[in-house]
Amino acid sequence: MAVDSGGNEKIPQSVTDFIPFARPFIGKEEEDAVLRVLRSGWLTTAAEALAFEDEFAARLNLTAEIPVKAAALNSATSGLHLALEACGVRAGDVVIVPSYTFAATAEAAVYLGADVAFVDCAPNSFLLDPAHFEKIARRLIEGKTAYESGGPTGRPRAVIPVHFGGLCVDMDAVNGIARRFGISVIEDAAHAFPAYTEAGFPAGTLGDAGVFSFYATKTLTTAEGGMLVSRNADIIKRVTLMRCHGIDRNVWNRYTSGKASWYYEVIEAGCKYNLPDILAAIGRVQLGRADDLLDKRKSIAACYDAAFSGDSRFSVPPSAAGDARHLYPLRLNPTLTGRVSRDDCISRLKEMGIGVSVHFIPLHTMPYYKKRYDLKAEDFPQAEDAYKRVISLPVWPGMTRGQVDRVIDSVLRLI
């Protein structure tokens, strides 16, 4: 790297030198797929979306169990909403979600008039703490507030474990507790395609339903989009109905079935959550690349692990064999933050041409939920600690070795 007159390493100035936090991996195949749909005369949900659903489900059906079926949607947020609705969540129920997640996980419950109870992270983890989940579920069942300090009351109806960063939650523990209390389990697998448990089962297939995100920064992207999967035929049927206005036949059927195309019946007040074919076509190509993209993220994460583990300034993120490595949340330890704050580290990295992010600002700190339930920081010590110390480094598959080295070099130069 060049040095300035004072002997300091020069910060890259040009836009092309900047390493963004995330960048989608899009090639000619995706471009060709979009053009094919644009030229076909049918842009919205039809054959491409149906094929994407089948191909996506096939990737998850690794065992001879009842197969999962998939429903393509316009976002994971829509999927969480429809999954909760299909599991019978209604006004006055409580949905239990980790505090350490994105807004979507909790707001889906609020759409249905339900209350939200937040669970802390397990120690030194970014994942939901099953012991805290159990404690909250028991308190709610006993008619108490979620926390000794207060919080929502009501019947716990569903829990949404989040496979944060692509690392699987202990689903045996979560399912066991949920079964005991009669609670539905919706996996938020927005970060977790493809991710696997220690026993090799795909994330998203272990609860009543699982929801994946295809937002632009995710491991598989369609720009915006999502997929709900379930082994429960009733859930898939309900979601398929509700994603398209509660109309008893889908638009594609209306124009291809040979029956009168103008006639339909609205049997529920549904939503408009379908995935257009242009986007599904991108998703089909990305699905074919999923293992290659995973390998690329894994090799970037391995470089970061090698550079930062054993350095007392940092704690590398916990990982396991089936981790999708969607994020690389590096914790800054007091030997570093005693001298430079986390926020200053982010500003300095930006000046050095490195885009980073923070996953996540815990939801119990967000004004809407904090005020609504009068939430106290002391009920979420692990999430509070993780949030104050974390920065997410770039792990997008198109990064060159030189870019990865520059990220490492810049982080090591923070003090």
Ligand X SMILES: Cc1ncc(COP(=O)(O)O)c(C=O)c1O
Provide the binding-site residues for ligand X, judged by CB under 6 A. Answer: 75-77, 101-102, 104-105, 162, 188, 190-191, 213, 215, 226
Burial class (CB in 10 A: 0-12, 13-18, 19+), 155: middle
Burial class (CB in 10 A: 0-12, 13-18, 19+), 29: middle
- DSSP track, 170-205: -HHHHHHHHHHHT-EEEEE-TT-TT-B-TTSPBTTS
- DSSP H helical ranges for 142-265: 171-181, 233-242, 251-256
Angle value at C-alpha 368, between 136 and 137, nearest 5 degrees: 10
Q: How far apart are CA 147 and CA 137, in angstroms?
A: 10
State the residue for tokens 């066991």: 176
Cβ closest to ligand X, residue 85 vs residue 188: 188
Q: Is 296 a catalytic residue?
A: no
Q: What is the pairing mode between strands 94-98 and 69-73?
A: unpaired
Which residue out of 28, 69, 144, 218 is catalytically annotated? 218
Q: How far apart are CA 254 and CA 264, in angstroms?
A: 8
Q: How many residues does the structure list for the chain?
A: 415
State the residue for tokens 């491991």: 219
- The answer to whether 183 touches 117, Cβ cutoff 8 Å, is no
First to last CA, the chain: 18
Cβ closest to ligand X, residue 201 vs residue 212: 212
Query: What residues are labeled active site?
Result: 218
